[in-house]
Structure 1
Amino acid sequence: MTEPTTVLIADDQQLVRTGLQMIINAAAGLQVIGEAVNGADAVAEAARLRPDVVLMDVQMPVVDGIEATRRILAGPMPRPRVAVLTTFSQSEIVYDALVAGASGFLLKDMPSVQLIGAIHAVARGEQLLAPELTRRLIEQFVDTGRRTAAQGLDRLTPRELEVLTLVAGGLSNAEIARHLTLGVETIKTHVSRVLDKLGARDRVQAVIVAYESGVVRVADS
């Protein structure tokens, strides 16, 4: 029997933690194994329980979710995936969380079916890049002054730059494959090479690099 994906919930609101626990434990293949009421608690519980996924609120007492994410992902292996819990109005905080290493973000008011699917996706190592939130993040916090030069961009081939642009638009490997009329395995190879050349740990960081460097603009995505 396949072991369930284990989840740690970090949120300072008890009602939120209780609601999330009920939804997650009712889903097949998922199990909540712990809760944390602040960022420091989240770091400690992640080290003790070794969950597969941490659902991390960004605004918590003692240590905020961004710093907690940074500490967890700098900790010993195996490290969990971190998905940020947020509201649509917390764009700047979410951007900083992605830079800290979070695998993506989940809206607190998203339907339960989408929440479950998102947790499974994060556990598989996929990054959550909702196009509508990505656009807002970039409009407010990249295109207005955070632009930097990025090493490795000059090493990308035209095809790899095209793939990077589509990744920045929130497309999955399968969607990119259909768009370019290529096989999914070929796209996976292109994405892997893009990450390697940019020195990016995952798709989220590659997207940040693309926007910060100006290679991809909001109007392009």
Structure 2
Amino acid sequence: MTKVLVIDDQRIAREYMENIVKNGGDYELVGSLSKADLAETVCRRSRVDLLLMDVCTHSTKDGIDTASELRRQFPELKIIVVTSMVEESFIKRAREAGADSFWYKDVSPEDLLTVMDATMQGRQIWPAETPAVKIGITTSNDLTETEIKVLRLVCEGLEYSEIAERLHYTKDNVKYHIRNILQKTGYANKTQLAIAVTGKQYIIPKLFD
């Protein structure tokens, strides 16, 4: 039997994953937590073969940072990062953390059990890209990588000069990129833009620095 640990801060989502594990045939639930920082203790006390790790948990660290630490301590552990949020950095961060697979609760074409089976067979299931989010009159897919970097700092409330310093751009260059983003999205100013983007959880400011 594959021993599974579930970590999710939302009770309904956690219970859903618990039921998938319990009814999955070859899986056994060894723990279900709302706090990611308790995962190490469970992994040391019990055999855990597969971890279903939500990005957001009731912890000082998010699920991806915790997954990175667990990967170093338990190299044989299989880790599936799960989330319902479309924050643009999650997929890249989860790969860098050494996660085996990634599953969007709401939009992934595969069901969770399929991802679990594939992961335990040594395969990796990853979305091709972050789901597109409508931002004003366009979608997130229309933004360049540089524009997303600038937009993230706009959403964190930084001024032009602060963004320029952080990204090693000139102030005029930052203004140029913000003008382009506003033109693409149709928002009148960067405050409206930031409210819209963070409201859709495409960028979650400061939470995952």
TM range (shorter): 0.5 to 0.7
Distance 1:26 1:76, change over 3 A: closer
Structure 1 counterpart of 2:33: 36
TM-score, with length taken from structure 1: 0.55
Structure 1 unaligned segments of length 5 or more: list them.
Answer: 147-221
* Structure with greater Cα Rg: 2
Q: Does 1:73 align with 2:46?
A: no
Q: CA RMSD in A?
A: 3.1
Residue identity in the other structure for 2:20:
I
Residue identity in the other structure for 1:8:
L
- As a proportion of its length, which structure holds more helix? 1
Q: Distance in 1 between matches of 2:41 and 2:142?
A: 33
Q: Distance in 2 between matches of 1:113 and 1:28?
A: 18
Q: Distance in 2 between matches of 1:70 and 1:116?
A: 23
Partner secondary structure for residue 35 of structure 1: strand
Partner secondary structure for residue 28 of structure 1: coil
Residue identity in the other structure for 1:57:
D
Q: Distance in 2 between matches of 1:98 and 1:76?
A: 16
Partner secondary structure for residue 91 of structure 1: coil
Structure 1 counterpart of 2:115: 118
Number of equivalences: 141
Find the partner of 1:63 among 61, 67, 76. Answer: 61
Partner secondary structure for residue 74 of structure 1: helix
Find the partner of 1:103 among 94, 100, 104. Answer: 100
Deviations 1:123-173 (A, max 9, x none): 12211122244899xx69994499xxxxxxxxxxxxxxxxxxxxxxxxxxx
Structure 2 unaligned segments of length 5 or more: list them.
Answer: 134-140, 149-209
Runs of 4+ in 1 over 3 A off after TM superposition: 110-113, 132-136, 139-146
Q: Distance in 2 between matches of 1:142 and 1:36?
A: 38
Find the partner of 1:23 among 20, 23, 35. Answer: 20
TM-score, with length taken from structure 2: 0.58
Q: Distance in 2 between matches of 1:99 and 1:45?
A: 23
Structure 2 counterpart of 1:90: 87
Q: Distance in 2 between matches of 1:140 and 1:45?
A: 43
